[in-house]
């Protein structure tokens, strides 16, 4: 698949869409008015796949605009790009690799790669059964009770997010913990209540060169030794997941306890690989496979559904629409489900590490906005902090609400309150409150006309703020798999529209390289003088005597 030679911004459809966005504003069109004009709007602008329901009717969108966006997707050769990804073509051009995450969950064993995937899953299955079943024990014969994953970025966020999301499926006797930060307090506070003899560490690093993870692994080794685990028995307390098996073995992990992943699996797309080992240990292998099945169902949808019904494509087009035609710079993600607390953080890496690029695949500078700034937290908490800015701030911030129809809690009424708040927020964002409404309300509350007029602008809410609502029937391994795959493919589809490579992340390297010199300066006895004045002053301020 060749990248599109001419950027989409040169396409006549691009200027047509620019005109439509301007016209939308000039005509004073509102989402609420579009609902009044079209009784079928909610149905027209909703779609389902793999157990996910998506309502995208509360958007600054008309059928015409959507039609143009879809034509733009065709012009960007999105269907061919989707096929290229599923066919394992080397779409990650700067690293000359395919993007193989979809092959991790297709359940097939046709190609050599797929057979390696199935072999690894089978090894994971045996390992999980041994640890959960108590055949695998600590050095003193006690069963493993705690699993501590040491990893960062994609080697942490996916399994940590999924483990939190699947609380209703946790194993009775095993608890998982996730340590990522090189701040020693992260490991120390996590280990404070654990016992070395019943703790198993999983060192998760695709490269096995990541500073944070290696330092945490060394500190964990010391903790085990100091906690009475004999050196010869350390192997009972450690496994590793890496594409660099030799380095993991050199670190001291027994070769049979190293689970491979592959270069073609990007860190932020690696939850489906053995990076999911702590999740499988903390739930079960059957649940891990169900996660795969959910993602695979969404893969099939992305691969086969026509663009107008294709959920990831629609999400990508909406992101393109707001980022490039409405000047939106951020996207808020609001899961109304406490177990999805870590989903925004997971999505930040997935979306921003993939789409935070300055050039297109051919090296030409982007003449569009790159991906958006993704942020958010679990509802309803945000309603009592940052939602004020969503409602009355001057920024246009498209929102993705994620609701779960059936909670695993038996407290149905509280769950209904949660859903009511979710739907009320998207309604409030859309309708707002006019100045007149605010004034009338104040008069009804007994304020004088002067007081009501003075206060009304503070109470007025512009409305017309767009949102998507995703509804999961229940939060299960299957629906979670589909949800994650939905966003993975949204990111990929958006990268194709923007013409960028979603699978590299060169921008993160500079800071890593610079930290080496600064660490040396912090460790040296003499004051730092080699850097800029600000950095020298900061180093000298925190240096230990
Ligand atoms: O620094 C960024 C990054 O390379 C991510 O892309 C990756 O998920 C993370 O670091 C961890 O990398 P590794 O799994 O190789 O330790």
Identify the pLDDT of residue 1: 40
Contact 235, 271 (CB under 8 A): no
Q: Which one of the listed residues 353, 357, 439, 490 is annotated catalytic?
A: 353
pLDDT value at 284 more than 60: yes
Identify the pLDDT of residue 545: 59
pLDDT value at 344 more than 80: yes
Q: Treating both helix axes as pointing N-terminal to C-terminal, what angle do 211-226 and 184-191 enclose, rounded to 10 degrees? A: 40
Q: Which one of the listed residues 384, 458, 526, 545 is annotated catalytic?
A: 384
Confidence band (pLDDT; 50, 70, 90) for 7?
Answer: confident
The DSSP H or E segment spanning 68 is helix 63-75
Q: Tell me the residue length of the chain.
A: 545
Residue whose CA is at the smallest distance from ligand 1 atom 16 = 205
Identify the pLDDT of residue 41: 98
Contact 318, 126 (CB under 8 A): no
Identify the pLDDT of residue 5: 61
Chain centroid offset of residue 160 CA: 11
Location of structure tokens 């703790």: 199
Burial of 44 (0-12, 13-18, 19+ CB in 10 A): middle
Nearest by Cα to 241 from 266, 217, 261: 261
Mutate to test the pocket of ligand 1, among 94, 251, 267, 513 (most ligand atoms within 8 A of CB): 267
Query: How far is 347 from 333, CA to CA, in rounded Å?
Result: 9
* Percent of residues, the chain, with pLDDT higher than 90: 96
Q: Which one of the listed residues 10, 395, 412, 512 is annotated catalytic?
A: 512
Residue whose CA is at the smallest distance from ligand 1 atom 9 = 153
The DSSP H or E segment spanning 306 is none
> CB neighbours of 22 closer than 8 A, spacing ≥ 6?
none
206 is catalytic: no
State the CB neighbour count (10 A cutoff) for residue 277.
27
Location of structure tokens 């959910």: 294
First to last CA, the chain: 59
Contact 226, 239 (CB under 8 A): no
pLDDT value at 45 more than 60: yes
Identify the pLDDT of residue 395: 97
Query: How far is 123 from 272, CA to CA, in rounded Å?
Result: 14
Bridge partners of 471? 53, 403
| Ligand 1 atom with minimal separation from the 270 CA | 8
Region 186-192 average pLDDT: 98
| Ligand 1 atom with minimal separation from the 210 CA | 16
Confidence band (pLDDT; 50, 70, 90) for 6?
Answer: confident
Confidence band (pLDDT; 50, 70, 90) for 491?
Answer: very high
Contact 498, 366 (CB under 8 A): yes
Contact 207, 155 (CB under 8 A): no
384 is catalytic: yes
Instruction: Write the DSSP symbol of residue 236.
Output: G
Say how many Å lie between the CA of residue 213 and the centre of ligand 1: 10
Query: How far is 218 from 213, CA to CA, in rounded Å?
Result: 9
Query: How far is 497 from 30, CA to CA, in rounded Å?
Result: 27
Query: How far is 120 from 116, CA to CA, in rounded Å?
Result: 6
pLDDT tens readout for residues 463-486: 999 999 999 999 999 999 999 999
Q: Quote the mean pLDDT of the chain.
A: 96
212 is catalytic: no
pLDDT tens readout for residues 190-213: 999 999 999 999 999 999 999 999
Phi-psi region of 335 (alpha: psi -120 to 50; beta: other; left: phi over 0): beta
Residue whose CA is at the smallest distance from ligand 1 atom 6 = 267
Beta strands in 330-398, from DSSP E residues, in sequence order: 330-336, 373-375
pLDDT tens readout for residues 57-110: 999 999 999 999 999 999 999 999 999 999 999 999 999 999 999 999 999 999
Contact 137, 237 (CB under 8 A): no
pLDDT value at 330 more than 70: yes
Identify the pLDDT of residue 336: 98
Confidence band (pLDDT; 50, 70, 90) for 4?
Answer: low
Identify the pLDDT of residue 2: 42
Location of structure tokens 């944070």: 212
Say how many Å lie between the CA of residue 207 and the centre of ligand 1: 8
Identify the pLDDT of residue 29: 94
Structure tokens at 427: 């309604």
Structure tokens at 378: 């679990």
Location of structure tokens 């695998």: 136
Pocket of ligand 1 (CB under 6 A): 152-155, 205-207, 210, 213, 267-268, 353, 505, 508
Region 242-252 average pLDDT: 95
């Amino acid at each position: 698949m060749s990248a599109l030679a001419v950027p989409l911004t040169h396409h006549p459809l691009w200027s047509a869409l620019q005109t439509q966005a301007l016209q939308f504003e000039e005509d004073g069109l509102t989402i609420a008015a579009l609902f009044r004009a079209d009784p079928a709007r909610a149905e027209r602008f909703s779609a389902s796949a793999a157990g996910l329901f998506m309502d995208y009717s509360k958007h600054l969108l008309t059928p015409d605009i959507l039609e143009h966006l879809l034509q733009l997707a065709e012009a960007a050769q999105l269907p061919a790009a989707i096929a290229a990804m599923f066919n394992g073509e080397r779409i990650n051009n700067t690293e000359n690799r395919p993007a193989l995450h979809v092959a991790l969950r297709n359940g097939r064993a046709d190609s050599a790669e797929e057979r390696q995937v199935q072999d690894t899953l089978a090894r994971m299955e045996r390992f999980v059964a041994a640890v959960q079943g108590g055949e695998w024990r600590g050095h003193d014969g006690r069963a493993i009770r705690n699993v501590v994953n040491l990893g960062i970025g994609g080697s942490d966020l996916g399994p940590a997010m999924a483990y939190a999301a699947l609380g209703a499926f946790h194993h009775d006797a095993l608890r998982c913990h996730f340590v990522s930060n090189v701040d020693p307090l992260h490991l120390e506070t996590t280990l404070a209540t654990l016992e070395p003899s019943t703790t198993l560490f999983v060192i998760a690093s695709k490269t096995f060169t990541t500073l944070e993870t290696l330092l945490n692994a060394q500190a964990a080794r010391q903790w085990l030794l100091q906690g009475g685990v004999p050196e010869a028995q350390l192997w009972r307390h450690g496994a590793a997941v890496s594409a660099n098996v030799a380095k993991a073995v050199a670190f001291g992990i027994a070769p049979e306890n190293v689970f491979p992943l592959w270069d073609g699996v990007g860190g932020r797309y690696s939850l489906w690989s053995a990076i999911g080992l702590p999740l499988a240990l903390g739930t079960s292998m059957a649940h891990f496979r169900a996660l795969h099945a959910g993602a695979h169902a969404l893969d099939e949808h992305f691969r086969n559904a026509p663009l107008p019904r294709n959920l990831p494509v629609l999400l990508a087009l909406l992101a393109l629409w707001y980022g490039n035609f409405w000047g939106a710079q951020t996207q808020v993600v609001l899961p109304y489900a406490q177990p999805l607390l870590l989903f925004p953080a997971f999505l930040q890496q997935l979306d921003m590490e993939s789409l935070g690029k300055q050039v297109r695949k051919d090296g030409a500078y982007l003449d569009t906005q790159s991906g958006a700034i993704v942020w958010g937290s679990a509802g309803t908490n945000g309603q009592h902090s940052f939602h004020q800015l969503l409602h009355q701030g001057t920024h246009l911030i498209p929102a993705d609400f994620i609701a779960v129809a059936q909670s695993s809690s038996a407290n149905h009424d509280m769950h209904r309150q949660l859903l009511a708040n979710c739907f009320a927020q998207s309604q409030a964002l859309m309708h707002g409150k006019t100045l007149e409404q605010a004034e009338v309300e104040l008069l009804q509350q007994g304020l004088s006309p002067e007081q009501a007029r003075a206060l009304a602008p503070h109470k007025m809410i512009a409305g017309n703020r767009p949102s998507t609502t995703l509804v999961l029937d229940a939060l299960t391994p299957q629906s979670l798999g589909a949800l994650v795959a939905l966003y993975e493919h949204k990111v990929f589809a958006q990268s194709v529209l923007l013409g960028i490579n979603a699978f590299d992340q060169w921008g993160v390297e500079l800071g890593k390289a610079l930290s080496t010199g600064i660490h040396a300066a912090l460790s040296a006895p003499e004051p730092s003088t080699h850097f800029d004045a600000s950095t020298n002053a900061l180093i000298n301020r925190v240096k230990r005597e």
